[in-house]
Structure 1
Amino acid sequence: MGKRRRLKKTPLTDGQFVFAKMRGFRAWPGRLVNRLGTEYNVYFYGTWDHARVSQKHIFDFAKHSKRYGKVNDRNSKVCRSFRAAMLEMQLAIAEPELDIGYFNMVAHLTTGAGLPQDESYSELEMNTDSDSEEVPPKGKRIAPMYHIVGDSDSDVENNAPN
């Protein structure tokens, strides 16, 4: 009987491209956001979601792409979304500075990480572009309002005679 060799895990770094395995799902392409003890926040491509994943369920993309990057059933819905996720990840690997979904997730997780659940917006965000000095009641979430410019509905009607 032979002895089992234990594979040495390569150290993981923030921003590294990986496959992350969660219970009930196949290993999915993602990117590490930050470390939380023995777990990592992982941004998943294709779903644009994130989750905490244990270090033992995270695999380096370059080393394990042949094993976890295979598509078995060509017609299933999971297969189509997995192929789309792999394509999105390959585009992110080619141009990592244009990976907007990942950078939005990093900003979301780093700014809201230290705040309680009911106060996810900072005071700076709540008070920008506000005309009144009224402070919202504690426990209420106020999202910043955005004005969309350049849409097909104009605010000014053209009343010029024809």
Structure 2
Amino acid sequence: MKQFGGPVLFLDRADINTDEIIPAKYLTEITKEDLKPYILEDLKLPGFDPKGEKTRSARVIVSRANFGCGSSREHAPWVFEVNGITAVIAESFARIFRQNMFNCGMAAIELPKEKIDLLFSFDNCPDTAIGIDVEKQTLTISGGGRKEIITFDVSPFDRALVLAGGWVDYADQKY
């Protein structure tokens, strides 16, 4: 089964849109792998480097509200997928982006603001990582000698999509 979690990339802003996740000028690329170097290229945050080690090593993104707003393109989840990111955790998601994450076999986890704030309190801790158990609907964040366990809810169908590896794998198993 696919492992969910790992090192965390904190993106402390609401309304991160799909053009910031993968700029539209790269949508003509032929394969998902061709998108890989352009992840978060147009995202502007103080001190953020889209080519930096934190971005390259990230397996989980933590952000604020309305993540993935903008266009409905699947390229945004695809660029996360080819960069090894297995989950995005935010206060809320744009509806189509959220479903595209599940359809691609990745977790889109919504948490209330106070839980997101708790996750952000780990931002400057060394070796911060999040482990995610999609079946049990728990995540464990650790770093700097601290550890917190948080529960989350995902619908049974979306959980089944993620656990199957995405919509295509789910359909192959069921039909």
TM-score (norm 2): 0.23
TM-score (norm 1): 0.24
Q: Which has the larger radius of gyration?
A: 1
User: With CA pairs under 8 Å and 6+ residues apart, which has the higher RCO, 1 or 2?
Assistant: 2
